[in-house]
Amino acid sequence: MQKLLKNAVITLGTCALLAGGSVAAMASGHGGGHGDGHATSNATPNSTIKKVIEGNDAFKHSHDRSHFEPFQTGQVPNLTVITCADSRVHTQLFGFEADNNIFIIRNVGNQIENSEGSVDYGIYHLPTKVLMIMGHSSCGAVKAAMGDYSGESTGIIAELDTLKPVMDMDDGEGPFNDRWAKNVERNVDLQVAHALELYKDKVEAGELAVVGAVYDFNDLWGKGRGSLVVVNINGENNVNKIMNHPVLNELSRAEVVTHVGSRTK
């Protein structure tokens, strides 16, 4: 369990250093998610499918038959991740081959309630040793839940409604972007609390660690763009206590300091 987290953190730390720079504040509107960004795509259905097929050919040619042998008849991932459906959040952020290593579940706002059966499968049937609930900076679902989304489709409304407990913790004070980032982290804490209710026995038996994290491509948590920031472990969200948590005991002090943080504490 610790080695898996260590490998991910080392690679992510390197990526953050290579990326360099810092963003003083979250972009508002641009790239904010929920369809309010100003970037446009010239893609057509035809050109998109062509790119998909060409990309798959490139993937096949760069992975020989031996790559697929370990998972011909089953899967043995170590990590279950529930994260957002946002197109900017993908498994390459972990820095290692995702095939047969990560059981990933995605939905609007990285919520357990909206994908509980899938999470159950990862925890009870695979079973993985770590459940990582991973929010991300500029989360469009959180931003939408902070406003009036009554005009959305029935499906979107249903998934955003489950974020209401997060919104209840927002006092409405301060700049919107600061509140937005804090609500992203509050949502992660909420999902961790839900996971601890569902999988309490496994956590108490030491068979599972529930890790809350934020993938920060805006550098709002101050660890560098592209950093995975751990904000909660098994319900503990005090930064100093997380830094000394046994789950992180295979990390160096430098790795811990550069990958543990909070915007709400």
Instruction: Give the start-to-end residue ranges of the domains of the chain.
Output: 2-37+75-257
Give how far Cα 216 sits from Cα of 21, 68, 122, 187, Å.
Answer: 13, 31, 25, 15
| pLDDT the model gives residue 3 | 54
- State how far the Cα of 134 lies from the Cα of 261, in Å rounded to an integer: 14
Q: Which of 208, 217, 253, 263 is nearest to 235 (CA)?
A: 208
| pLDDT the model gives residue 17 | 32
pLDDT along the chain (265 residues), means of 10: 51 36 36 55 94 97 96 97 97 95 98 98 98 98 98 98 97 96 98 98 98 98 98 98 98 97 94
| pLDDT the model gives residue 41 | 86
| pLDDT the model gives residue 73 | 97
Q: Any idea which fold 2-37+75-257 has?
A: Beta-carbonic Anhydrase; Chain A (3.40.1050)
Interior/surface letters 61-81, b for 16+ CB within 10 angstroms, e for the rest = eeeeeeeeeeeeeeeebbbbb
pTM above 0.75, yes or no: yes
| pLDDT the model gives residue 11 | 39
| pLDDT the model gives residue 40 | 79
